[in-house]
Chains A and B, each alone.
Chain A
Amino acid sequence: MRVHIDQEKCCGAGSCVLSAPEVFDQREEDGIVVLLDAAPPAELHDAVHEAAAICPAAAISVEQVERV
């Protein structure tokens, strides 16, 4: 899995941090999303998918990466 964020779109609602705090954080100065782990381990995939689904600003996208 590869996670992408769009800080321009982000509205700082913080729901991603509640869903997957290991993967997302908020910038100290303005609460905008910060990516902590762009390639999170499998056990966090559900939480990341949930974070992407509930993001109100569609600022999170998830790409499935084929394992080689």
Chain B
Amino acid sequence: MTTAERIDMERATGTAERPAALAVPAARADGCPFDPAPGVERARREDPVTRATLWDGSSCWLVTRHQDVREVLGDPRFSADATRPGFPFLTAGAREIVGSNPIFIRQDDPDHARLRRMLTADFMVKKVEALRPEVQRIADELLDRMTDGRTSADLVAEFALPLPSLVICLLLGVPYEDHEFFQERSRILLSLRSAAEEVRTASDELQDYLIRLAESKRQRPDDGIVSRLVARGELDSTDIASMGRLLLVAGHETTANMTALSTLTLLRNPEQLARLRNDPSLIKGAVEELLRYLTIVHNGLPRIATEDVTLGGATIRAGEGVLCTINTANRDEDVFPGGDTLDVGRDARRHVAFGFGVHQCLGQPLARVELQIALETLLRRLPELRLDIPFEDVPFRHDMGIYGVHALPIAW
């Protein structure tokens, strides 16, 4: 009997004991840092719509297969509004800051669509394609500095993190010299270990910083996104700061971690690395495959049902939380045969690493361009690239909402 059937039976009889639910976020297996947690993978194979227990003892549904994940994320009966009672939070910090300064990824249409559409033009494909020369210049300058008179460095600190940070600062009109301030606050916001009060403080400080920035753009307008939102006149400084906060945090943490983790993954898969080096035209497909294989948003995307919905044999009741594990969906054999293997020649375009539905990542064209340029440039310029510490010592980000590595010592 699947969990769904068992729960339906319990509801019908009102008697049976609650089945043992899977505790999430679940730990990855030792020695398998690129694979989803075994417990969640087992759920995908055996019991794909199942019950899970969160950090605070509350429970929610876990949706683990590709098709089911697409259905939930594409169905407006599943709300992203975190202020609804019963919304599943992955951390105490996320719950702590929900009421204050809402961001549109935690709102539903029409509010979500109205706010998102103020930004879609800035991240559309042709706008981002036009940024390629600038992104390439930044990548080359960072590598010039990193390799100048040296044969080893931390790839995260010197390349993977500053590249997307510099780009998002440029787009938003945020001074890059403040990067230590916003990178440290981002780290606190994304750490699963931060106390609720720490998250509140970091969020407020970032919000205040961006309010001051928006105010300064009223005096000295420029061509950045923050300044143009100010000029538009439809939002107050608080709303603009909330949008800026979302773009600033999402804009550098995700690409930074994908860049470093992709590099490590390729170093661990030398045949795939050689294929990519021998045929750089594979880079676009390789980036899609790495997005699929690594799925750094590794703890799932939260939603809450607003109506009763039947999914994969289970009845999800109105008011119940749902967590869509996009990392297991991206290993689903029905869509990606041999999905546990990295194959840079695979057509991985149906991955859900950017989510699905109307909330799918707004910055995905930018992430793609940054990753294509970062990886292609790194592999071309450092033909002797290798890991500079034993693989067992690589500090993986098990403790963070966005997976990756805290540092990646490399040599060339």
A and B, one complex? yes
Which residue numbers of A lie inside 8 Å of B, CB to CB? Answer: 9, 11-15, 17-19, 25-32, 50, 53-54, 56-58
New contact pairs (10) apart from A28-B121, A30-B120, A31-B121, CB-CB < 8 Å: A11-B359, A11-B360, A13-B354, A17-B124, A25-B126, A26-B126, A29-B121, A31-B122, A32-B117, A32-B120
Complex: how many Å from CA A11 to CA B360?
8
Q: How far is the CB of A44 from chain B (nearest CB, A)?
A: 16
User: B124: which of A12, A50, A53, A54 is its contact (CB, 8 Å)?
Assistant: A12
- Which residues of B, 102-138, contact A by the 8 Å Cβ criterion? 113, 116-117, 120-127
User: A14: which of B113, B124, B359 is its contact (CB, 8 Å)?
Assistant: B124
Q: What are 22 sample pairs from A and B whose C-beta atoms fall under 8 A apart?
A: A11-B359, A14-B123, A14-B124, A17-B124, A17-B125, A17-B126, A19-B349, A26-B120, A26-B121, A26-B125, A27-B121, A29-B121, A30-B120, A31-B124, A32-B117, A50-B349, A53-B350, A56-B73, A56-B357, A57-B358, A57-B360, A58-B74
CB pair A57 B357 closer than 8 Å:
yes
B121 nearest in chain A by CB position? A31
Contacts of B359 in A (CB 8 A): 11
CB pair B365 A14 closer than 8 Å:
yes
Is B173 engaged at the interface, CB distance under 8 Å to the other chain?
Answer: no
Is B152 engaged at the interface, CB distance under 8 Å to the other chain?
Answer: no
Complex: how many Å from CA A19 to CA B126?
13
Complex: how many Å from CA A31 to CA B28?
39
Q: How far is the CB of A59 from chain B (nearest CB, A)?
A: 9
CB pair B349 A56 closer than 8 Å:
no
CB pair B360 A31 closer than 8 Å:
no
Complex: how many Å from CA A9 to CA B359?
12
Is B361 engaged at the interface, CB distance under 8 Å to the other chain?
Answer: yes
Contacts of A50 in B (CB 8 A): 349
User: A31: which of B74, B113, B120, B349 is its contact (CB, 8 Å)?
Assistant: B120
User: B120: which of A12, A15, A19 is its contact (CB, 8 Å)?
Assistant: A12
Interface centre among B123, B124, B355, B358 (most CB of A within 10 A): B124
Is B147 engaged at the interface, CB distance under 8 Å to the other chain?
Answer: no
Is B34 engaged at the interface, CB distance under 8 Å to the other chain?
Answer: no
CB pair B74 A12 closer than 8 Å:
no
Contacts of A26 in B (CB 8 A): 120-121, 124-126
Complex: how many Å from CA A19 to CA B201?
43
Q: How far is the CB of B302 from chain A (nearest CB, A)?
A: 17
A59 nearest in chain B by CB position? B358
Which residue numbers of B lie inside 8 Å of A, CB to CB? Answer: 73-74, 113, 116-117, 120-127, 349-350, 354-362, 364-365, 368
CB pair A14 B358 closer than 8 Å:
no
Complex: how many Å from CA A18 to CA B349?
10
Contacts of B349 in A (CB 8 A): 15, 19, 50, 54
Interface centre among A27, A28, A29, A54 (most CB of B within 10 A): A54
Given A26-B126, A53-B350, A57-B357; A13-B121 close (CB under 8 Å): no
CB pair A56 B120 closer than 8 Å:
no
B118 nearest in chain A by CB position? A30
Complex: how many Å from CA A45 to CA B376?
30
Q: How far is the CB of B346 from chain A (nearest CB, A)?
A: 14
Q: How far is the CB of B278 from chain A (nearest CB, A)?
A: 24
Q: How far is the CB of B114 from chain A (nearest CB, A)?
A: 11
Q: How far is the CB of B322 from chain A (nearest CB, A)?
A: 17
Contacts of B355 in A (CB 8 A): 56
Contacts of B126 in A (CB 8 A): 17, 25-26
Contacts of A32 in B (CB 8 A): 117, 120
User: B117: which of A30, A57, A58 is its contact (CB, 8 Å)?
Assistant: A30
Complex: how many Å from CA A63 to CA B132?
36
Complex: how many Å from CA A11 to CA B115?
11
User: B116: which of A9, A12, A56 is its contact (CB, 8 Å)?
Assistant: A12
Contacts of B350 in A (CB 8 A): 53-54
Complex: how many Å from CA A12 to CA B363?
10
Complex: how many Å from CA A26 to CA B74?
21
CB pair A13 B116 closer than 8 Å:
no
Interface centre among A18, A25, A53 (most CB of B within 10 A): A18
Q: How far is the CB of A6 from chain B (nearest CB, A)?
A: 12
